[in-house]
Each structure stands twice: as C-alpha cells, then as structure tokens.
Amino acid sequence: MAATIAIVDYGMGNLRSVLKALEHVSPPGTAVRVSSDPQVVRGADRVVFPGQGAAADCMRALRRTGLDEAILEAVQDKPFLGVCMGMQVLLETSEENQGTTCLGVFPGRVRYFGTALDRLPEGRHFKIPHMGWNTIRQTGTHPLWAGIPQDSHFYFVHSYYAEPADAALRLGVTDYGIAFSSALGRDNVFAIQSHPEKSAAAGLRLLENFARWDGAVP
C-alpha cells in the first residue's frame, strides 16, 4: 500500500504550494492529500499541519471541525510537521487575540514581536511582521536537518514567535532583533516557523526529509 501524507486544511490559506512541493519531493507512489476530514488525518502515515491567519481563528476552526482531536492523536505516534501557525498553536498559549489557548503539545507560549522589539536600544528598528528571507541556525541534530547547511536561508512571514518552556525543544534559532526559536521538535514531532514550501532548495530538502522520515530521532 502506498504511503500517505495528509495536509491539514482548516479553511485558511492556499495550500496548493505545500501540496505541490510535497508531491515533487516525496518518494514515488506516495499519496499526498489536502483534507479537512479528521478521519483522513487519522488514517494518514504522516501529517503536515501548515497554517496562517490569527491564532484564535485557527483554534476556533480546528475545534469546530474536530481537527484539533485528530491532530492531538497524530502527534502521539505519526511523523508530524507543523509549519508557521501550525507550529505556533502546538504550544500552550498565544498572546495573539488578547490571549488564545492552543493545543498544548509543547510547553510554552507564543509572544508578540513588538513587545520584545520595543525594548531594543535606540536606533535598532525592525518591521513587524518579520517578512522575507532569514537564516536558521540549527541548535540540535535532527533527521529533518539532513543535507541542509548550517545557517541556510528560509522564508518567513509572522508577527509572533514561539517561546518554549523547555530549551531542549529548540532545534533552530533565527535572529530578528532578538534570537527566537524558529524550529522545535520532540520525538516524532517537528515544527518550523518559516515556510519550507517557499524556501527554495533548503525548504524542499526539509520536506523531502520529512516525506522519508519514520518519526524516529537517533
């Protein structure tokens, strides 16, 4: 039976670029499917959870469709990739929308860039959102980093950043006025703030690594 990858669709954002990128790099015979059906997510061999929009809207859509429970089941034992908002809502809470309760897969919170950037010394100014190309410094080894050079460039679009409660979760750091966690991981779950489907060779290699990953971390 062909391996399957489910891309979680909670009704926000165009997922076509994620689909096309995964189809391009996955092993022959892999079935890649965008779906809002919790049963499809449960039945897939691997799950990709991309996201954009506001945290409260994301969580509201997940709960309305039952995708929140399907995601919480998937992170228990499937190779799982969270992307952008799909990374942020894996934490416990977000400062967005006056405070949003998230999925709680990782301990920690999501914070607004403006709060930290306002405290920078005079003369250092950074626009919000953080948008465009920036580097990720790999701070931990992981199968999804295989073949990706240190300090490779990835494409970002976000106004909030992850602050994990456990430093051991941090697998990548990016500097934007402050050093923030741009990749997190534990066991079979890997999450990245940038958009790998828009990140040229480095991003495609990360997706290829995921499509072949069995969820084990040496």
| 195 in catalytic set | yes
Which one is catalytic: 84, 142, 158, 208? 84
Instruction: Estimate the crossing angle of helix 200-212 against helix 16-25, to 10 degrees.
Output: 70
Distance of CA 159 to the CA centre of its chain: 14
| 58 in catalytic set | no
Alpha helix stretches (DSSP H) within the chain = 16-25, 38-43, 55-65, 67-77, 85-88, 113-117, 200-212
| 197 in catalytic set | yes
Residue 207 contacts residue 196 (beta carbons within 8 Å):
yes
Which one is catalytic: 130, 142, 158, 195? 195
CA-CA distance, 2 to 24, in Å (whole number)? 16
According to DSSP, the β-strands at 152-158 and 130-138 are antiparallel
- The neighbour count for residue 125, using CB atoms within 10 Å, is 8
| Partners of 100 in the β-ladder | 94
Which one is catalytic: 130, 142, 158, 197? 197
Please identify every residue annotated as catalytic: 84, 195, 197
